[in-house]
Chain A
Amino acid sequence: MRFLPSAEQSEFARTLHGLLGVSEVPAAVRAWGAGDHGPGRALWSRLARTGLFALAADEAYGGVGPLPVELALGFVELGRAGVPGPVVETAAAAVLLSELARPGAEGEEGGAEDAGDAGPAKRFLPGLAAGEALATLTLPGGGPYALDADAATYCFTVSAAGELRLAGGGPGVPLGSTDPARRLSRPAPDGELLAAGPRVLAAAETALGWARLLTAAQCLGVGEALLASTVAYVKQRTQFAVPIGSFQAVKHRLADTLLALEFARPLVWAAALGLAPREVAAAKLAAGGAAYASAMTALQLHGAVGYTEELDLSLWLRKARPLRDAWGSPSQCRAAVLRGAP
């Protein structure tokens, strides 16, 4: 038992952290929200060179995965830095296509050995794994909106009936989100049919689990960034001639924020180790809740300046709530935690 990231895993996270620290992410987030995807795409390319997106894709199609622990640790860093774009969705699409291509066990479908459907994987995965293409997607059990379809190279849809399609007709006009850097749209229901059947639904369920896990990891990073900014602020903000961080009311709220994050972290790790649906739901519930609580603490302790768009803090504040609900709301996750339990 060594329930800690290995030296290599920690080093990978540190590499991403270092890269993102010098990448002027806040400017890319603001541009992204204004519809200018250039800085965000440049950031994406730099991230891809670390091998990040290859972690979700199968080795046969340009990937090195699936490596969920490494990916989850990486997504904590994406959350911490506030990286914009369909990062979770691109990874989930890579998982979906990899799963679809994987030969199934005998008898899984119709009794005969199932060779898997490698067509879509061959066509799309190398580009996704290399970071040349961005993907977004909608899945059964997820929400109806595709994130950042206007920036994505591909928009995949999986219907409740198990039809995997490449949505056509362009992204349409994005619907406004409470976070301007999250651009939502409803994918067209038609488009090229890529695959269909129970295998698609099974692959979609796996992809949904990964999306939930990686959103949880992203939430953890978002929450940590908000806590770190707020701790720094209350140390330097002076009222009544002392730093406000010396007041117990302020300290205790920050202590509770740290507590929630520190108890969510091992749930995210355990969820990444096995991707068991109940573990993933627990991780998402805890990390999403902790990130949102961290946002509310950050807002309150920054006071009025925290309520402004101008302060970069707003980029994380606005992200916390949608991420708490994306790919598994608290209510859905609580139901999943108890599902099938004795």
Chain B
Amino acid sequence: MDLTHAPGVADFRAEARAWLAEHVPGSPLPSLETAEGFAAHRAWEAALHADRWSAVSWPAEYGGRGVDIERWLVFEEEYWAAGAPGRVAQNGISLLAPTLFDHGTPEQRARVLPPMASGEVIWAQAWSEPEAGSDLASLRSRAVRTGGGWLLSGQKTWSSRAAFADRAFGIFRSDPGAAKAHQGLTYLMFDLRAPGVTVRPIGRLDGKPAFAELFLDEVFVPDEDVIGEPGQGWRIAMSTTGNERGLTLRSPGRFLAAAERLRALWRSAADPRDTALRDRVADAVVGARAYELFTWAAASRFAAGMPIGAESSLNKVFWSEYDIALHETALDLLGPDAELAQGAWAEPWIFSLAGPIYAGTNEIQRDIIAERLLGLPKGRR
């Protein structure tokens, strides 16, 4: 057992740190949930890509550096410690790209990944529907066969980034006669500006259009934009939720950096006699370290060829609840300034509140933990 990095990792870290020190914007970009901020974040993706930092774990042919998971985690540590902007390309890079690596064709990878890496094409996800949230397999949006492709119709919702994004990916019902709900679904990519697509932005709690509803009316999708076999969409979508995605959805570097900022805020702003606040700061510091170490252990198992399955549900519940507790502690340290919308902690706090809801609600995750990790019997939800 060890926590020492392989030879060469220190050089990689130094290279990343030097690049970030030179390129990270001196002042924060406008919120990426605004038109202006979205454009600024897209430009940042291009800057990252120009020196091959936007998707370091991808093969070089798609714009990456082909680094292993250890170096990817180190890059993330440096990235967030440098105070670099949030990643507007995250949905594509952490959800669609792993799916294409596992199930896409070489042609799809060559066509889709480079513009994803450069920020030229920003992807939104299109999973949920008004009547299909946690029970995703009950979705109703249809994909109907037509000459050379499919026609998509129906409604998707809570589509993150869709207000300003270029394309989207999701699963659609292609065989309404299939015996079970999760059969007869097909995984497709489509253009958000194609004829038949209507995007209605939805304001989240602070009013910013962080997600959108998508109305689809016979939207044509060519066969080349189907991922995997038609009818296998559920299996394809689920296969990437249980592997390294559990590790890459939220990197520890993000929380290590946030805990460090919280500790600095506590040092500068807190009454040292307030041990209740001190305890919460200590818990945030311990939580970030626990998450980091849990991830190193999982990465070690992954590197040793052991599968990462339902334990990614432990990971998701932990970071999402941790993130809220950390931001709430920061707000308490700020006192009356906590309420100011332009404060450094306000928008991240609003963002953190969605964590237990998206990417599989924490209630569903706890069901998965209980049933798959503890072996408890399935019951009525």
Which A residues are closer than 8 A to B by beta carbons?
Answer: 1-6, 9, 69, 231, 234-235, 242-243, 245-248, 250-252, 254-256, 258-259, 262-267, 269-270, 273-274, 279, 282, 285-286, 330-331, 333-335, 337-338, 341-342
Kindly state the separation between the CA atoms of A266 and B291 in the bound complex, as whole angstroms.
9
Q: How far is the CB of B87 from chain A (nearest CB, A)?
A: 24
Give min CB distance, B260 to chain A, whole Å. 9
Q: CA A338 – CA B264 in complex, angstroms?
A: 11
Q: Tell me if A251 and B278 are in contact (CB < 8 A).
A: no
Query: Across the interface, do A1 and B293 meet the contact criterion of CB distance under 8 Å?
Result: no
Q: Which of B4, B285, B290 has the most CB of A within 10 A?
A: B290
Q: Is the CB of A252 within 8 A of B370?
A: yes
**Cα distance A248–B279 in the bound complex, in angstroms:** 31
Contacts of B303 in A (CB 8 A): 2
Is B238 in contact with chain A by the CB < 8 A criterion? no
Name which residue of chain A comes closest to B260, CB basis.
Answer: A342
Q: If A248-B379, A254-B376 touch, does A269 touch B370 (CB 8 Å cutoff)?
A: no
| CB <8 Å contact, B6 and A69 | no
From known contacts A9-B1, A259-B314, infer whether A235 and B375 are also in contact, taking CB-CB under 8 Å: yes
**Interface membership of B275, Cβ < 8 A:** yes
Q: Could you tell me if A4 and B290 are in contact, using CB atoms closer than 8 angstroms?
A: no
Which residue, of B1, B4, B301, has the highest number of chain A Cβ atoms within 10 A? B1
- Tell me the minimal C-beta distance from B135 to chain A in angstroms: 15
Question: Which residues of the partner chain A approach B381 to less than 8 Å between Cβ atoms?
Answer: 248
Complex Cα–Cα for A342 and B318 (A): 26
Q: A235 is contacted by which of B1, B300, B366, B377 (Cβ under 8 Å)?
A: B377
Min CB–CB distance A219 → chain B (angstroms): 14
Q: Is the CB of B293 within 8 A of A246?
A: no
Q: Is the CB of A286 within 8 A of B367?
A: no
- Report Cα–Cα, A303/B311, bound state, in Å: 28
* Residues of B bordering A, CB below 8 Å: 1-6, 9, 70, 263-264, 266-267, 275, 278-279, 281-283, 285-287, 289-291, 293-294, 296-297, 299-301, 303-304, 311, 314, 317-318, 363, 365-367, 369-371, 373-381
CB of B285 within 8 A of CB of A270, answer: no
Q: Is the beta-carbon distance between B290 and A267 smaller than 8 angstroms?
A: yes
Which residues on the B side are within 8 Å of A251 (C-beta)?
366-367, 370-371, 374, 376, 379
C-alpha gap A337/B279 in the complex (Å): 10
Report how far A234 CA is from B376 CA in the complex, Å.
8
Question: Could you pull out 10 A-B pairs where Cβ atoms are within 8 angstroms?
Answer: A1-B2, A4-B297, A251-B371, A252-B370, A254-B376, A255-B370, A269-B293, A334-B278, A334-B279, A342-B263
Known: A258-B369, A341-B267. 16 other contacts (CB 8 A): A4-B1, A4-B304, A242-B377, A246-B378, A248-B379, A252-B363, A254-B376, A255-B317, A255-B367, A258-B314, A265-B297, A266-B296, A330-B279, A331-B275, A334-B282, A337-B286
Does B278 contact A335, Cβ atoms closer than 8 Å? yes
- A258 and B374 form a contact (CB under 8 A): yes
- The answer on a CB contact under 8 Å between B374 and A2 is no
| Cβ of B17 to closest chain A Cβ, rounded Å | 18
In the bound complex, do residue A248 and residue B293 qualify as a contact, i.e. CB atoms below 8 Å apart?
A: no
Cβ contacts under 8 Å, B1 to chain A: 2-6, 9, 69, 269, 273
